[in-house]
Each structure stands twice: as C-alpha cells, then as structure tokens.
Amino acid sequence: MTSEPLNGQIVDASSLLALLLVFVFAYFAALFPLFEEARQRPTPPARDDRAALIRRLSQYLRLGCGFLLITVMVILTLAPISWHALQTSLWSPFQTLRVGLLLVDVLLVATSATTVLEVSLVWNRRAELLRMV
C-alpha cells in the first residue's frame, strides 16, 4: 500500500474518529470520579444504606462493562487502518497522521485497561459489602 491512499483513509476517517473519541474520553472522564467516590465511601452502619450502596456499585459495574464494550468496539473499528499504518514506514519520513492514529490506539488501550481495573475494584468492593449483608 502506498503512502497517499493510507493517508487519505486516515483523513477520511478522522471526523468519525474525532466524534467517537470525544464520546469515549468524555464518558470515561465522567465515570472515573463516580467509581472512585463509590469505592472509597465508608461502609454504612445501617443495613438499608449498605443495600443502597451495593445497588449503586452494581449500577456502576454495568456502566463500566458497557463503557468497556464501547471502547473495544472503537478499537476494533480502528484496527484495520491501524494495522496498515503499522505495516508502513512511520519515521522516514515522519508520518504525522499515522503516528497520531497509533497514539490514539495506545490511549484507547490504556483507557480500556484502566476501565478493567476500576471495574474489578468496584466488583471487589461490592463483594465485600455483600458478605456483610
């Protein structure tokens, strides 16, 4: 594959990519503090308050899993064009569009990994509270 058609594909996909990334990263920025706050909340002494916290953590688990699914779908959408970018020379001459695309891929993978970590921590906190009920 020559340089120009691949660069054209990246440019053609950039508006869709920008829209997807805005939603993915904005949603992550909104969810992350909620996960942290719910996880760090002290265990309520009352049984009904613990049950409410368990329900909230369960809702956050569903949101986190849904977000992870969306992020993986975006990664899979970018995978073919990213694979082509990896198969070509990135550094000689420097290919800004291709390196930028690969950086987006790295950020999406990091976002996915962080989401997996947060979901597992929320899962553990929920399991801890369920043992108390």
The 10s digit of each residue's pLDDT in 26-40 is: 999 999 999 999 999
Tokens (6 digits) for 105: 């891929």
The 10s digit of each residue's pLDDT in 66-81 is: 999 999 999 998 898 8
83 and 120 Cβ atoms separated by less than 8 Å: no
- The domain tally of the chain equals 1
Residues 6+ apart with CB under 8 A from 108: 24, 71, 74, 75, 78
Q: Provide the domain limits for residue 34.
A: 3-132
pLDDT > 90: what percent of the chain? Answer: 60
